[in-house]
Chains A and B, each alone.
Chain A
Amino acid sequence: MNGHYHLATGGRFSVPSDNQSVDQALRKFFRHEMPDPWPACRATAAIELRKPAPGFRDLAKRYLALALSILFLMMGLSMASDWLSGRSHRDAGNITDSIDNTAQPRDLHGNPKRTLPPAPPRK
């Protein structure tokens, strides 16, 4: 078993009889068979894709938070509308109080404005 063996198909892939070269040939074959690059683990990828569904507690917490938010919003709206309506009533009262029909118009210095008497009708 001395000397070199050559494949009949062109002699590119030589399989010599000595152990070292047989080793090289086998190593080349098995390296060719192994996936390159080495594949990622599908199991972990599947786990990452499949996020765990929220449990009952998580779900209850979320619903509670939503309910509280709605409650606060409604309370806020109600308070705001009450405040606005109260203010509008007050403002309306103030305005009517502040209107003085008898007061004369004044100029910038606070002196009563002189108003011209109405012109006599032309004949």
Chain B
Amino acid sequence: MSSPEFDALYQKHSREVWALAYARWMDADAAQDVMQETFLRLLKEWKKGERILNPRAWLLRVARNLAEDYAKSAFRRNGTYAPQTMTGLRSREPVPIDRLVENEQYAQVRSFLNELSEADREVLTLRYGLDYGSAEIAEILGINTAAVHMRLSRARQRLAERLTAQGVVSE
């Protein structure tokens, strides 16, 4: 495995890896850490001479496992704060009011997405984050396209309901 081949693999699949990790924790920084660690492990496997027939499947599987272990490994070992604590910290720099309002709105959407199942969040992240079609999402998640449509529709509906029920949106 040469460096250009590895770079091509990174360009092709890193967003998918990020999306799955993000869907697990709804934390962009954690997802980025998981993504980088996943590719580092792939490189190590190759350096060891391991033959990986389907790198994409391998990457997605490892990303899921790493995302699962992320909370109990990184935060406990390093003693860092949980992402929700860090995002709650205020900057010393004055923030424009528009930015504050926007951030607040994003935080609300994030909290509603957190109430959905991980499976629903995966579909939503791949659909809206990466603009993937049903066939691609089905391939990544190992389900059929009908199931993708069902999850997508259900997740969208639930999200709209949450926004209404919480009074965040008004009719």
Contacts and interface: CB of A to CB of B under 8 A. Distances in A.
Interface of A: 1, 3-10, 12-13, 15, 17, 19, 22-23, 25-27, 29-35, 38-39, 41-44, 46-47
A39 B15 CA distance: 10
Given A22-B160, A33-B22, A42-B40, A3 B129 contact: no
A4 to B, nearest CB: 8
B131 to A, nearest CB: 8
Contacts of A47: 3, 43
B163 interface: yes
Interface in B5-49: 6-7, 10, 14-15, 18, 22, 28, 32, 36, 39-40, 42-43
A7 B124 contact: no
Interface residues of B, dominant DSSP:
helix
Contacts of B75: none
A44 B106 contact: no
A9 B3 contact: no
Contacts of B131: 27
Interface residues of B, number: 40
A99 to B, nearest CB: 77
B105 A12 contact: yes
A55 to B, nearest CB: 15
B170 A29 contact: no
Given A5-B164, A39-B32, A31 B104 contact: no
B168 interface: yes
Contacts of B167: 8
B10 A42 contact: no
A24 B158 CA distance: 16
Given A1-B160, A30-B129, 8 more contacts: A5-B164, A7-B105, A7-B168, A7-B169, A8-B170, A15-B160, A33-B22, A33-B129
